[in-house]
Structure 1
């Protein structure tokens, strides 16, 4: 059995329900697959033997779409650097940190944009709607209306390859204790894009590309500096892209499927 989410009790809204449920399901299986080492550690604490658990990374779909064609399809600026935040707008994703980072970046490189490819979910609680409103206010306060593209809408699956290939760098400045692997992270890797993410359990595997891409939560200043370095330093950028290319091949769905077959 594959367990995608293993949440420890202290960070779960339902207290021990998720943790105990994962443990019970795992003990019924002949073998358990998880995506992260931190997930394995929780199952070990719950009493599963190490030989019963395998860590197999989340699979990566590799896709290549022309950058200019992608930008034209989505109505994005054809020139300049486009940063991306993807998915439903939720407070824990800290989009306001990305907006603050953009403001700092534009002091040195004006032709930089942030594309927020997503919106508030139709069934979202009021808290999420209020957060989206506060995000719009911050964009206005920082005079970034021309540089933040925020349609606040849902994008269908067929647009996803274009969204990731249209951008230059993908941001995940999240702040959460979730122990699930990130499918969105693997979409970014699958497009071969440099990723900057918070140093939290959800993104621990990014160290397999470069530990330097992990930033402490709420640190918009370091995100800005890292974006500028990727833009300005060809050697650093090439190193990150080479490492990303290697990791997306290693975790491709083809290789992930082979690891499952070997286990079975």
Structure 2
């Protein structure tokens, strides 16, 4: 059985959310990869009902805490061959509700694939995007909860082998219950994206993109840039993204970073975009960048969408030596730094800017990683996973009625 009707459960545009952006790229890639596929996005986001050929959006306003009771019947009504849920703790929480949603789908005979965009352990500290939605690990047996998800889903997808898949296997899930499929990379054609007015024409131009929160480590980036900019009067640091915390604390943090730059004498070389950045502007910034900073100070076992956006733009990325950037560690460990050491970051960037041989050497593995994770490749891996799960469900049919395998095995 080939999975042709796919229902994706996820946040979606117009929400400013990394999962929503990921889903839009995945859906476009699936539709482009197989002309027989139909995709429906069932979303709790403030989306508008929409249908365009083989693609449609079905908003489900979720009221109160009982989202399984509201989502499950709408998903079932789309009559999918397979359901693909984009899971993030900041969206679904870490209580009995998400396993209950999976059980409801299984009882309806609907095979479910779950992409866990973040994996935790009992030692996790950082919450990723969950902190902005009130998610907390306090009192949560998180490893047991993740095991329950894996036992009820037809298949779990994660983005990293060592830091995510192997972690879930260590927590008790069988090897065939979890598959690693990388985050996709959107490739920008050289010269196809012009320079946006809000992106400075610095030389060098250093870019610190993404959803801004304290763990993005902007103060350390500014300290490093002050060292890099010494003797480089034309250098510019562009900080662009979306301020996740729009409250007093978020504003105070961003203002303190700007003041830090002014005290360091680089205020005129810092450009901060405080409003959400469009796809076109972000693409222009990444394509123009000499170096892109992803030096987050967080321990989340997740993936960086901005890393892949930068790879697709042909940028050189400097990142933290943390589980989030395992992909980069595997192809070019020399581009990783301790996120608490601005001097180390500055020395690495100076070498990238000044050493032509080193710069060429680190660009080669980045290009290879970008090709290996191109969205068409990632879409095909997803279609293969869907078919595997759909066939497994058909294989357990007994007496004409589907008997869903809750463990996925």
Please indicate, yes or no, whether the TM-score normalized by the shorter chain is above 0.5.
Answer: yes
Aligned-residue Cα RMSD (Å) equals 2.0
1:172 aligns with 2:269: no
Asked whether the equivalents of residues 120 and 152 of structure 1 are also in contact (C-alpha less than 8 Å), the reply is yes
Provide, for residues 124-163 of structure 1, a one-character-per-residue CA deviation record: whole Å limited to 9, x for no partner. 3433222112101101101112111113221123322112
Q: For residue 146 of structure 2, what is the aligned residue in structure 1?
A: 22
**1:5 maps to which of 115, 118, 121:** 118
Partner of 1:34: 158
| Cα offset, 1:74, TM superposition | 2.7
Closer/same/farther in 2, CA of residues 174 and 67 from structure 1, 3 Å limit: farther
1:104–1:243: structure 2 CA closer, same or farther, 3 Å change rule? same
Mean Cα deviation higher: 103-112 or 228-237: 103-112
Deviation at 1:119? Answer: 4.6
Tell me, yes or no, if the aligned pair for 1:177 and 1:202 is still in contact at 8 Å: yes
TM-score, normalization by structure 1: 0.91
Aligned in 2, Cα 1:21/1:126: closer, same or farther, shift over 3 Å? farther
Offset of residue 111 of structure 1: 2.3
Question: Mean alpha-carbon deviation: is it higher for 199-208 or for 125-134?
Answer: 125-134
SS of residue matched to 1:5: coil
**Structure 2 unaligned regions, length at least 5:** 1-112, 128-135, 389-409
The TM-score, its normalising length taken from structure 2, stands at 0.60
Counterpart-to-counterpart distance in 2, 1:3 and 1:118: 24
Provide the C-alpha distance between the structure 1 equivalents of 2:352 and 2:325, rounded to a whole number of angstroms.
19
Maintained 8 Å contact 1:34/1:55: yes
Contact 1:86/1:116 (CA < 8 Å) preserved in 2? yes
Q: Is contact 1:208–1:247 with CA below 8 Å preserved after alignment?
A: no
Larger Rg: 2
Aligned length: 261
Pick from 199, 214, 219 the counterpart of residue 341 of structure 2.
219
1:84 to 193, 207, 223: 207
How does 1:1-264 map onto structure 2 within 5 Å?
A: 1=113, 2-11=115-124, 12=127, 13-15=136-138, 16=140, 18-36=142-160, 37-64=162-189, 66=191, 69-70=194-195, 73-121=196-244, 124-263=246-385, 264=388
Instruction: Please tell me whether the aligned partners of residues 165 and 178 of structure 2 are also in contact (alpha carbons under 8 angstroms).
Output: yes
Maintained 8 Å contact 1:33/1:53? yes
